[in-house]
Chain A
Amino acid sequence: MSVFLEALAWLFSPERLGAGGIPQRIGEHLWFTLIAFALASAIAVPLGYLVGHTGRGREVAVAVAGAARALPSFGLILLLVMLVGVLQIGAAVTAALVILAIPSILAGAYAGIEAIDRRTIDAARAVGMTEWQVLTRVEIPLGLPLLLSGMRNGVLQIVATATLAGYVGLGGLGDDILQGIALRNYPQTLGGALLVVALALVLDGVFAVLERVAVPHGVRKRGGALPRSSSASRTPAASAAN
């Protein structure tokens, strides 16, 4: 465990606070995560609702989510950086992160609607709700937990992939890890890794809480069990671990 202690020593040494230090690295990492998540959500949520509400394009959405799982995220980043040009690394990496996060969020949005009892939606329509009211008053609130579950996968995907962005010199916590490997400075590598893990766990925890809160009263099962367990795992949870 001495390496572990060395890693902690590296993490908490005073020079980790300045330029290129840990706060800056975390800031970079979070900033990229936030931007990519916002962009991916802005694209995927309306699209997912459209698919979920109309039932059209479902096969396409499933195929896209499936294919995205096979997409090697590291390769995608390098590919986009080369295509867009080294001067636009930030844009290229952001695009890669957005592309990788879209399938999870899209799947969460449409699966959330799809998982609702058809008879509930049928009844909502039968009592005279407009399509918009069916969407906003029934489908969105009841589908929220699965949407958040998809967003949770998407965020973890972004955090993990942003780590790989260190390779193209964009900073973030991956920078410390990769630099450590290159310099054969294992404490630094491990220290960086621990930070990434901590960041991922914190974000995962935040979404876990949100998911729990989002389950509408009345749908909540006794004992606080979330409907996530069975239904969410059936949503094509794009690998968060890339």
Chain B
Amino acid sequence: MSIEFRGVRKAFPDGTVAVEDFSLVIPSRTTTVLLGSSGCGKTTLLRMVNRMVDPSAGTVLIDDEDVAAVDPVALRRRIGYVMQNSGLLPHRRVADNIATVPRLNGVAKDAARERALQLMDTVGLDRSLADRYPAQLSGGQQQRVGVARALAAEPNILLMDEPFGAVDPIVRAELQQELIRLRRELEKTVVFVTHDVDEAFLLGDQVVLLQRGGRIAQAGTPAEILANPASDFVADFVGAGRGRRSLRVEEIDGVLVVVDADGRPAGVLADEARTAPGSATRGNRAQ
């Protein structure tokens, strides 16, 4: 399902304008990352899709249907939503948390539980955790439950609001890889919010870099943004301007080592890359 923002604006009652005038098309079955520092309006934009926030002006369309015309409760039940602190219900067991939306939609208890257990497999959670309470899980496990809950209603759209922001770097890398796998298997339209450039470039088919007030600094594929930063702001934000992402190859003891601008090694050049030296310029740092 495609999502389109058409000239949306959001001013909160206290007068702050979170989004000034934002337009964007998110193609079906792709991952779009809204990237920016805190206060740039990225979460507000995300929450307009499932009407957790209603725009002050402009429209949000899902498959050319104005969401403002859809009952928010019905809309939310067919859109998956994952948030930073998982937002699990602390008084419900893992399986019940995952089954929340099917149960709200009237699915029988047994069927909902069976579905929940399947989803635990999908997101890589051991079924033995089904009867634990959220407080008994690690942060990474809680996030997986959050993802499973979001998938439970078989939504075509998945909204993810800094879902991996609160877990440690190792778990985050694991969850990112898991998401890449899920996305391949499930073919959802994913909108992902983050302030982490590396995460945005890793996950996004399309990355939208936002400035204050939801102004688009640049939108494009990670490669396009890195290769042609539209402004100093973009270059600075993604690190191209400071040379953080420019890598070069040095030969050390007969091995080709990729080093960054400060001469710190980023990795070893793989054999197949030697024949095509140009391919090393897209500078994802070695994780």
Contacts and interface: CB of A to CB of B under 8 A. Distances in A.
Given A127-B149, A218-B92, A119 B83 contact: yes
Nearest to A221: B135
Contacts of B136: 218
B264 interface: no
Contact of B90 (A122, A127, A218): A218
A125 B81 CA distance: 10
Contacts of B149: 127
A120 B73 contact: no
A128 B73 contact: yes
Interface in A97-119: 117, 119
A218 B104 contact: no
Given A122-B52, A133-B104, A127 B91 contact: no
Contact of A126 (B76, B93, B133): B76
Interface string B196-237: 000000000000000000000000000000000000000000
B100 interface: yes
B243 interface: no
Contact of B77 (A120, A127, A216, A218): A127
Contact of B83 (A122, A130, A141, A216): A122
A123 B52 CA distance: 10
A123 B101 contact: no
A129 B104 contact: yes
B89 interface: yes
Nearest to B146: A123
A127 B100 CA distance: 8
A87 interface: no
Nearest to B80: A127
A44 B81 CA distance: 35
Interface string B68-102: 00000111111001011111111111000000110
Interface string A141-157: 11000000000000000
A216 B90 CA distance: 8
Interface string B29-52: 000000000000000000000101
Given A125-B52, A130-B73, A218-B133, A120 B89 contact: yes
A124 interface: yes
B140 interface: no
A217 interface: yes
B40 to A, nearest CB: 20
A126 B85 contact: no
A138 B100 CA distance: 11
B55 interface: no
Contact of B93 (A125, A138, A218): A218
Contact of A141 (B81, B91, B101, B150): B91
Nearest to A137: B89
Nearest to A124: B89
B92 to A, nearest CB: 7
A39 to B, nearest CB: 30
> Which of A120, A127, A218 has the most chain B CB within a 10 Å cutoff?
A127
B83 A138 contact: no
A156 to B, nearest CB: 27
Contacts of A130: 73
A141 B52 CA distance: 23
Contacts of B50: 126
B219 to A, nearest CB: 25
A221 to B, nearest CB: 9
A218 B76 contact: no
A123 B87 contact: yes
Given A128-B104, A217-B133, A218-B134, A123 B90 contact: no
Contacts of B87: 119-120, 122-124, 126
Contacts of B85: 117, 119
Contacts of A216: 90-91
A19 interface: no
Interface in B120-140: 133-136
30 contacts: A117-B85, A119-B83, A119-B87, A120-B88, A120-B90, A123-B86, A123-B89, A124-B87, A127-B77, A127-B101, A127-B149, A128-B74, A128-B75, A128-B77, A128-B78, A128-B153, A130-B73, A133-B104, A138-B89, A216-B90, A216-B91, A217-B91, A217-B133, A218-B92, A218-B93, A218-B133, A218-B135, A218-B136, A219-B90, A219-B135
Given A128-B75, A128-B76, A218-B91, 10 more contacts: A117-B85, A119-B84, A119-B85, A119-B87, A123-B89, A125-B76, A127-B76, A133-B104, A141-B91, A218-B135
Interface of A: 117, 119-120, 122-130, 133, 137-138, 141-142, 216-219
Q: Which 7 A-B pairs have the closest CB atoms?
A: A123-B87, A218-B133, A216-B91, A128-B77, A128-B76, A126-B81, A218-B91
